[in-house]
Amino acid sequence: MIYFVLVVLFMFKKVLVPTDFSAYAHKMQECLSEIPGIEEIVLLNVIDASNPMNLEKRGWSYSSLIEEGQVRLAEQADRLVHLGEGKDRSPTVRNVLKVIVAPMSGADGVNLQWPPSSDPSMMIEGGSVAEAIIRTAKEEKASLICMGAQGKGLAEGMLLGSVSTEVLRKGETDLLIFRHSILAGGEKAGPPDLCRNILTRVMVATDFSPAAGAAVSRAEGLCGTKELMLVNVISKDEEFGEAAAKLNLLRERLASPGRTVSVHVLQGRPTDQILSLAEKKMPSLILMGSQGKSWSRQIRVGSTTFDVTRKTSCPVMVVRPMES
């Protein structure tokens, strides 16, 4: 049991939080200040200076982009520190700025030069914003990436927003995704104490694969969880007995004083069944492994996890496989 508690403590040890300084980013930071157990928050802003339009607005100068990013990051860090005041234990906050650059010439053919006074470790040559986030998570040895997700997009695959989708598909760090609508208020808003109680009622979807086992291990050591819902989806009636037996074994393993554990064997398309149960039970968090039984190293997120994450209104934590 000690091992699993340490795993969960590590999960919140260092949280990487990408920010674009939007109102949604502010809401995300307010939410993070309420989640118990976070030790360190790393605020990350990625400037895509490979886009000529971004540079043109700043007079073809890396220096002005960097200065503006640093100032705005400092403002958000101060805000986070202020939000943590008066709490028993507030996380430390640190800023990281990354600038994506690409070989190009500025106005009138003037070659752009990296400012000598700026830290060269901020510079990333080429790639996307999502790739910069994934790379920074590795460099920082972040235990979790926390991101917001846009509402409905024009295309079905854009429901998470392009950056969140790419981080979900390609990342190697555990990922916590919040739908913007539940943070912003209105009809689709979550309960007022959603962030503070995010670990209270947790749904764990499992197909008994090793990747799903990593999610179960996270669930085993969660602190403050009063209810765990274990879910498995079968494709035919003959599979019910085996699935129920496996879930009951997990229930015995996960049960503890002050925590109830229920099992749910459902039949049909996994994504539809998980979403339907989540709508009925309204968990505070859905916990899923990143890959299913047929995963490969080239595919870092399975189709069921991807579809549930982009369609549910609940916060979702995607657990990456533990390295052997």
CATH of the domain at 310: 3.40.50.620
Contact 141, 273 (CB under 8 A): no
Least confident of 78-92, 217-231, 236-250, 297-311: 297-311
Q: How many CB atoms lie within 10 A of CB 123?
A: 15
pLDDT at 303 over 90: no
Q: How many CB atoms lie within 10 A of CB 250?
A: 21
| pLDDT, mean over the chain | 82
Query: In the chain, which ranges are continuous DSSP H helix?
Result: 2-11, 23-32, 52-56, 62-84, 129-140, 162-170, 180-184, 210-220, 240-254, 270-281, 303-311
Residues 6+ apart with CB under 8 A from 191: 197
**Domain hosting residue 82, numbered range:** 2-184
Q: What domain count does the chain have?
A: 2
In a domain? residue 189: no
Least confident of 55-69, 211-225, 234-248: 55-69
Q: Are residues 100 and 129 in the same domain?
A: yes
Block residue for tokens 């609940």: 314
Q: How many CB atoms lie within 10 A of CB 294?
A: 10
Sign of the dihedral through C-alpha 151, 155, 157, 163: negative
Q: Are residues 232 and 180 in the same domain?
A: no
Domain boundary among 136, 155, 184: 184
Q: Are residues 9 and 64 in the same domain?
A: yes
Q: Are residues 20 and 166 in the same domain?
A: yes
Q: Are residues 231 and 295 in the same domain?
A: yes
Q: Are residues 219 and 142 in the same domain?
A: no
pLDDT at 324 over 90: no
Query: Is the pTM here over 0.85, yes or no?
Result: yes
For 256-275, what is the mean pLDDT? Answer: 96
In a domain? residue 6: yes
